[in-house]
Amino acid sequence: ALGQPVKWTEQRGENMVAMGHGRAMVMNTEMGVKKDGTIVGLRARVLAETGAYPGIGAFLPVLTQTLSQAVYNIPTIHFQAHSVVTNTTTTVAYRGAGRPEATQMVERILDKAAQAIGMDPSEIRRKNYIQPDQFPMTTITGANYDSGDHEKSLDAVLAASDYTSLRAEQAKRRAADDNKMLGIGLASYVEVTAPLGLHAEYGKCEINADGSATIRVGTSSHGQGHDTAFSMIVEDMLGIPSANVTHIDADTEEVKQGAGTMGSRSLQTAGSAIYEASKVVLEKGKQLAANMLEASADDIVVGEGALQVAGVPAKSVSWAELAAAVDDNSVRPSDMDGGLDHELVFDEGDSTFPFGSHVAVVEVDRETGEVELLRHIAVDDCGTILNPMLVTGQQHGGIAQGIAQALWEQVQYDEDANPVTANLMDYLMPSAADLPSFETSNTETASPRNPLGAKGIGESGTIGSTPAAHNAVCDALSHLGIEHIDMPCTPQAVWKALQTV
């Protein structure tokens, strides 16, 4: 009415009751296992809380169902889910979106099965893994797995954690009735990246007049390091240093189409689009260079910022010279279009499936119920790795969020549905000081579905860490006859369980 701009600043309390939250599923799970550890079946009944405004939250159990076979040969699965509307905050797609729930469900019941038959948690997993020669495979839940080597990641994480010594230390403490109880949690997982048909993306590569390159992609980087990874692809393909590659995204004036950044899809889709576009630019450059250098195109190879004749580095032409010559009809081959650029939409045809194994080590105080995370070891496989530092960063962030769910974070209400966790004093979100330095490494099992062999990594840490940390706490108490504690395993929850012994 006044025609004046209005500024509104949301308060923390308003944010806590209005923003979306993740997970919010209650799972009742049964698993059939033979005495030798062979899984014969899984039954799950899932109640998913969607909050007051059911959007994608109502759909998330579909992803949970799709990955409920996990990394195992499970011949029979019965999965039933109901999404319900409540008067609580809305459930949204939060780092993992349905996949952490599937892994948590399977990995927790598998630990209980191992305990029931007296089998080590690592061995029951090893016995039931889908084997490398079974890939590609379509699971009984409809997931089209591309590649995997689960035993390799298990062996790597057991070695990195010194698992045998941890079990020996645990036995020693239990024999001494130590007040500081050691818990060792193991989890293996599979993740789906570029899910729900989101496996196509736009990319363009263009050589500029000065010999630099500009790439345009339909994804949007907001801290993941897309510009670094995509520039490395161009450098590797064309020999143009990454520093001379300009990355443009999230600009509708510059990028004519794009599906966006979600589902850990960017490298395998947009990165592959840049790879394929650069490949076409390279072939055009080779033909042009061959004409200019009076050589065969088959003899032209990539040098530093230039194309050259194989074995004769002095006989070369820079990308700047190629850019200047490409529109000269006297130099350019008659069957070649002008311009050193190419754009396309790359479609890998289906999703990819990263996987891995995690080990969490906790110490539980028998008197207070306090849980201290001593170590977290992760071996994650995201296919072929382009930039190890970017992968490590994603692993660390994901692990921190997954552990937070297992040990601390929970949205709570009183009996009248009033929010109890309305600020960050009551909502227990950990800081770096609450967490150890994570021990991360990788195996590399290339995906056949894209030319990079890449799979996503953005959500893997969250998916593997939650069940590992949860299993560790339950393992610490298992010798006392306590079979299970619901997440989060706060000191209060653990102390209450200890009072039943």
Residue that is written with structure tokens 């363009």 in the block: 204
pLDDT tier, 164 (very low <50, low <70, confident <90, very high otherwise) = very high
Q: What is the pLDDT of residue 417?
A: 84
Which tens digit of pLDDT belongs to each residue from 353-383?
A: 999 999 999 999 999 999 999 999 999 999 9
| Each residue's pLDDT tens digit, 226-282 | 999 999 999 999 999 999 999 999 899 999 999 999 999 999 999 999 999 999 999
What average pLDDT does the chain have? 96
In the chain, which segments carry CATH 3.30.365.10? Answer: 106-194+350-498, 200-347
Confidence of residue 103 (pLDDT cuts 50, 70, 90): very high
* Top CATH class, 200-347: alpha beta
Whether the CB-CB separation of 488 and 429 falls below 8 Å is answered with no
What's CA 491's distance to the chain center, in Å? 29
User: What's the count of helices (H) and strands (E) in the chain, helices before strands?
Assistant: 13, 16
Residues 241-276, buried b or exposed e (16+ Cβ, 10 A)?
ebebbebebeeeeebeebbebbbbbbbbbbbbbbbb
Render pLDDT for 21-42 as a digit per residue (tens, 0 to 9): 999 999 999 999 999 999 999 9
Q: Give the type of residue at 321.
A: E
DSSP 63-117: HHHHTTTTTB--S-EEEEEEEEE-SSPPB---TTTTHHHHHHHHHHHHHHHHHHH
Residues 6+ apart with CB under 8 A from 350: 144, 146, 199, 449
At the second CATH level, the architecture of 106-194+350-498 is 2-Layer Sandwich (3.30)
Let me know: does 64 contact 96? Beta carbons within 8 Å: no
How many other CB atoms sit within 10 Å of the CB of residue 415?
5
Q: Is the pTM above the cut of 0.75? A: yes
